[in-house]
Chain A
């Protein structure tokens, strides 16, 4: 079982819609959870981090964490064509400090 798994996509939504990205992780000792966005040919850019169960909102982005189900999600409201990118879910386990475990990413396309 992989450390971090994401729905592979690609995901395609119309402009203005809600995009939902999902991620599961295998280690119950994981403590820190991150969503990065990566445009083609660029490096990952932090979108959100979340440490506690529940929802965390930042503008059009909402991260949701459910540690009991080992599940993290990212919702993008009012999606824009500029949101088209690969979204990477990443986790830091309690036993391996300083190391991000990444999913393979979900490619999102927002069409006008």
Chain B
């Protein structure tokens, strides 16, 4: 089975711009979770989608949003980028129905905001 894929892998943006990141889960997985990883804060949860519905949301400002499509692919969007948004953005997929299943991570998108 193919693993979780994320595009793009690297991105450079300037402050004030917006960005959209994409995640394709493992075939058959219906849950996609998004995390932000920085050296200072570690891995922090952004949100989770299951069957096109946001089931859980972390403590991030409204500039961070996401969605999930009927084929379980997910996108996250960050508007009005700030320098502090520079991070590795990871998505993880799981079977999802119970909410307790193992999550498998994609390779991540490394975002640099200048």
Interface residues of A, Cβ cutoff 8 Å to B: 31-32, 34, 36, 42-46, 49, 51, 88, 92, 96-105
Indicate if the CB atoms of A92 and B100 lie closer than 8 Å. Answer: yes
Indicate if the CB atoms of B105 and A43 lie closer than 8 Å. Answer: yes
Indicate if the CB atoms of B55 and A97 lie closer than 8 Å. Answer: yes
Closest 8 pairs (CB-CB, A-B)? A97-B99, A98-B48, A102-B43, A32-B100, A43-B105, A43-B108, A98-B99, A44-B105
Indicate if the CB atoms of A99 and B105 lie closer than 8 Å. Answer: no
Indicate if the CB atoms of B56 and A98 lie closer than 8 Å. Answer: yes
Q: 19 extra interchain contacts, Cβ-Cβ under 8 A, other than A98-B31, A98-B56?
A: A31-B100, A32-B101, A32-B102, A34-B102, A43-B88, A43-B90, A43-B107, A44-B105, A46-B105, A51-B100, A97-B55, A97-B98, A97-B99, A98-B50, A98-B94, A99-B45, A99-B56, A100-B92, A104-B42
Given known A-B contacts A44-B90, A92-B99, A101 and B42 have beta carbons under 8 A apart? no
Interface residues of B, count at CB 8 A: 27
B58 within 8 A of A: yes
Instruction: Give the interface SS of chain B, mostly helix, strand, loop or mixed.
Output: strand
Indicate if the CB atoms of B33 and A88 lie closer than 8 Å. Answer: no
Indicate if the CB atoms of A99 and B106 lie closer than 8 Å. Answer: no
| B51 CB, min distance to chain A CBs, angstroms | 11
Residues of B contacting A32 in the complex (Cβ-Cβ under 8 angstroms): 100-102
List, sorted by A's number, 5 A–B pairs whose CB atoms are closer than 8 Å: A32-B102, A92-B99, A97-B56, A98-B33, A99-B48
Indicate if the CB atoms of A96 and B56 lie closer than 8 Å. Answer: yes
Indicate if the CB atoms of B107 and A42 lie closer than 8 Å. Answer: yes
Within 8 A of A (CB), among B54-104: 55-56, 58, 88, 90, 92, 94, 96, 98-104
Indicate if the CB atoms of B102 and A46 lie closer than 8 Å. Answer: yes
